[in-house]
């Protein structure tokens, strides 16, 4: 199977490298060409349509809903009558409507489509240990599975079109709220003089334990808020999708809305590239609420 990969950012770069290392022939496209050229062994393509022409399976990991829709359905979009028999996978975190629209558009041209968001951060993308949650036809999923296995250690078919995105939004609600809870808890503990290392060791065996504490605790302890990897703009985008969906569904998602407000304040203050743990700056009062 010839594989194409579009979007070699913090996540896509590591994922594409693992596909290559697993022995697949790989064609790559990235808006900023230098990132594609850095991937030794892959064939660099000039435009999305060139990539799609060469590959049987096209994996896409772009920044947001707008860039994803543009790639698939825009003026230069790749979904046209030349894609019959090909398979597309969207790894980006988008809303349910986008995943369903892309399923429908690909299906109308005789192409397969999976929404298959990812979790595990840039570290998981590099290590090939991502969680990959897919929605779409089970037989399409089985055909793509060997490639997913090169990128992830937990690869699950969640259900029909949109089921991967639904799982990812559930994950992101917990990520956004739990990260903020870690920022509040550890900043409060620090202020009263607690030893943060001892506290995290203790919490590992307490009800307060969480995957986000494992991830954010060490960053908060070393105040590494400006380290790259999980930028605030991503969680703000995801919580904006989640709170909008909550409203549309008549659900009250107040924890998600509160977290959204804090992250929005940080992004408004120019910190969109900082890590999610930069929320400690709001908690401590460094950034006035
Ligand atoms: N970072 C994480 O921890 C994480 C974890 C799980 C899931 N995700 C999700 O995975 C997706 C990618 O995240 P990421 O962290 O890899 O993002 P990123 O580092 O910002 O990379 C985004 C990619 O999209 C491309 N892009 C952005 N706008 C574009 C446009 N208008 N037209 C064409 N290409 C465009 C970028 O190209 P350039 O190189 O030219 O900028 C880059 O290849 C997002 O949906 C994110 O929510 C992220």
User: Do 120 and 104 form a contact (C-beta atoms < 8 A)?
Assistant: no
Task: List, chain by chain if needed, residues with CB within 6 Å of any ligand 1 atom.
Answer: 7-12, 30-32, 35, 61-63, 67, 92-93, 118-119, 121-122, 229-230, 234
Work out the average pLDDT over 22-46: 98
Instruction: Report which of residues 81 and 10 the model is more confident about.
Output: 10
pLDDT value at 157 more than 70: yes
- Bridge partners, 27 (sequence order): 4, 43
pLDDT value at 229 more than 90: no
Whole-number average pLDDT of the chain: 97
pLDDT score of 228: 80
Confidence bin at 28 (pLDDT 50/70/90): very high
Q: pLDDT for 273-282, tens place per residue?
A: 999 999 999 9
Query: Which domains, from first to last, does the chain contain?
Result: 3-160 (3.40.50.720), 166-283 (1.10.1040.10)
User: Do 261 and 271 form a contact (C-beta atoms < 8 A)?
Assistant: no
Of 125, 112, 86, the closest CA to residue 7 belongs to 125
* Alpha carbon distance 77, 264 (integer Å): 31
Q: pLDDT for 103-123, tens place per residue?
A: 999 999 999 999 999 999 999
pLDDT score of 113: 98
Confidence bin at 289 (pLDDT 50/70/90): low
Q: Where are the beta strands (DSSP E) in 41-120?
A: 43-44, 57-60, 87-90, 112-115, 118-119
pLDDT score of 288: 75
Centre of ligand 1 from the C-alpha of residue 273, in Å: 12
pLDDT value at 244 more than 70: yes
Centre of ligand 1 from the C-alpha of residue 203, in Å: 33
pLDDT score of 74: 97
Sign, CA dihedral 192-194-200-201, equals: negative
């Amino acid at each position: 199977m010839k594989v194409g990969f579009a979007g070699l950012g913090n996540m896509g770069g590591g994922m594409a490298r693992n596909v290559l290392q697993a022995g697949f022939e790989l064609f790559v496209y990235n808006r900023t060409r230098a990132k594609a050229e850095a991937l030794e062994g892959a064939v660099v393509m000039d435009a999305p349509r060139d990539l799609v022409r060469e590959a049987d399976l096209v994996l896409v990991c772009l920044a947001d809903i707008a860039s994803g829709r543009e790639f698939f359905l825009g003026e230069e979009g790749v979904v046209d009558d030349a894609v019959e028999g090909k398979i597309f996978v969207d790894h980006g975190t988008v809303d349910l409507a986008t995943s369903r629209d892309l399923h429908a558009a690909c299906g109308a041209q005789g192409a397969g489509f999976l929404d298959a968001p990812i979790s595990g951060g840039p570290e998981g993308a590099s290590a090939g240990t991502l969680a990959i949650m897919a929605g779409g036809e089970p037989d399409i999923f089985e055909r793509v599975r060997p490639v997913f296995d090169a990128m992830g250690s937990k690869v699950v078919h969640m259900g029909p079109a949109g089921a991967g995105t639904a799982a990812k939004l559930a994950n992101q609600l917990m990520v956004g709220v739990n990260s903020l809870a870690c920022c509040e808890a550890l900043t409060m503990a620090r202020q009263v003089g607690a030893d943060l290392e001892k506290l995290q060791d203790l919490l590992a065996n307490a009800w307060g334990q969480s995957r986000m504490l494992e991830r954010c605790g060490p960053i908060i302890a070393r105040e590494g808020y400006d380290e790259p990897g999980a930028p605030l703009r991503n969680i703000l985008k995801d919580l904006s999708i989640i709170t909008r969906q909550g409203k549309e569904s008549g659900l009250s998602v107040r924890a998600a809305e509160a977290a959204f407000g804090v992250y929005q304040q940080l992004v408004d203050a120019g910190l969109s590239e900082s890590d999610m743990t930069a929320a400690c700056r709001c908690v401590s009062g460094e950034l006035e609420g």
